[in-house]
Structure 1
Amino acid sequence: MIFENEYRTMQNYECLSSCISNYLIFNKHLIKGSDIIFLGDGFKITYNNDTKTINSNMYSANTKFLNNYNIQYEDGQLEERSSAIQFLEHAVKKNERLILKVSTLNLNYNRVFNQTDDSPHYINVIGLEGNEVRISDGCVPTIVPSKFEGLVLLDDIINSWEEKHYKYLVIRDDYIKLENINIKNIVNVKVQEGISSYLRGGSENNFYYGYDAIKRCISNLYELIKNDNFYVYILELNYELRVYGFFTLKNILLDKMKDSGISQNLCFAYEEIIKRWNYILMLLVKLGVSKNIFLLDKLKNKINQCNIEEKRILEELVLFWNKDKCED
């Protein structure tokens, strides 16, 4: 079984790219989860002014990466519990690179899952021992993201898998194209393009992008705060900002900065930006409870100040990767 063959769970910042990355690393392709997001053009933030929702390309970047780099995979789902168990057991015994889409509702290997609703999550299945299954989770959603590799009751995993209709991915052991390309150079170009796109912002057909997405999102709160369901909306918005890419992508970028020889001072400065955004998102929830217009003004000012400092850092990063590209 895979866990017996020097498989190691590496910690990442998005669950599906983490699963894919850990299998690629197992096969001696040193591609991190953050690389996958950038290679799949995931560093794109969009605000829909009609639905008042914010999203990113972070999740779709995974399949775009697989398709663009000719990594063969099977994307499917099963109908019944018995066939799902049989499929899982067969895949693990055959050393298949199996990824399950599960619900956090029934996961219990970390207490953080007790605080979540029925959110989708991805895990690798790397072994079987009696009535237990050995799983690999490189993105446990703790306050400081962590990892888990160990045994969990098979019934618990099947129950979680059932909530997501037994959906799965199998990554095939065939990475021919990856042998012939310089991943580091391509990632550096994609990082620069992603940051430049974020700074450029813009809008089209009531969609706002990058830097302008969060500005439009916050400015709309002055109207939305008058609605009776404002608190519910704010909870949903906070979830979108934290989970659907806006906040996560900042950690993914920081991870790439640390890998790329960026100065410690600049990395530290961006870590501080991330902490400030975390505080801003906590203020957002308080705003939902209080509906206090003065708190909204305070929130807007903090976001403006944070945006100015973040923009300065991102512009320095673009210059760094431009210089790096010229030297190559």
Structure 2
Amino acid sequence: MFFMLKRYCISRVSSRAFWPKLQVSSAYFGYKMSELTQVQSNKIFGGWQKVYSHNSTELGCKMKFAVYLPPQVEEGPVPVIYWLSGLTCTEANFSEKAGAQKYAANYGVLLVIPDTSPRGLNIPGEDDSYDFGSGAGFYVDATREPWKKNYRMYSYVTKELPALVNKEFATLPDRQSIMGHSMGGHGALICALKNPEQFKTVSAFAPISNPILCPWGKKAFSGYLGGPEDNVAWKEWDATELAKKYNGPPLDILIDQGKEDQFLKQDQLLPENLLNAAKDNGIALVLRFQDGYDHSYYFIATFIEDHFKHHIKYLKS
């Protein structure tokens, strides 16, 4: 029995977060205990929707993220799609409202859904408004006090979290892509444009496409990055500006935008600016305007299957 248990722990160590009951045994045989604490687990479409917490070194606080483990992860490593959520969201919104697990299970893809900002740091002003501070990290690395120590969502999403996910789960590190909504669409776009070799493709729902020119972006960038609106550093966190100078491998971008989106009408999103920049630089970008749809998760749930198909073309080719 002792030999059989040891052999089983060794064979499953790459998926140890999927088998929490074996963590004590694997530690006994010389393997490092998981850095994750499981806080929720629900079976869905043959896989498991889980939530974990961990201590983030980039953000200096305890963070939670959701992860969907498709049934195929029991047989071996699978590709990964990262989802970045929008203003006021947490790790729960996408996993509870989008219906994405059905398609992740069909295609054998692991989904990772981080929170949208650090939490509970007691920074003055962090909870004063919905579009700055808590729930509104904007996926940048802040350079202005008092935010620069903790508000480093870009480094968290592109470095710390992928390293942790690839260590704790059975993933294919060279097969990952990214998508998001609104502020998270902005985040997905800049992560892909700034890291040409890291993500196979990118897609977005109603992204904040040109933040240096919209009210949301101006507020966030002035707070996190400082300076006036002509601060050149802002352009390094703007998808439209990054598209103008992108020179990496061919990148195929899919964007869906609801025509009845109130924030589109308020010039918060500006997707045409990104489309024009991509065209001028030879980047493949499909921008689809969807009649009657707004900014909600009803819109996302309607078209999420198309986005999975877009990603699968590159994750499994």
With the length of structure 1 as denominator, give the TM-score of the two structures.
0.26
More strand by share: 2
- Which structure has more relative contact order (CA 8 Å, sep 6+)? It is 1
More helix by proportion, 1 or 2? Answer: 1
Bigger radius of gyration: 1
TM-score by length of 2: 0.26
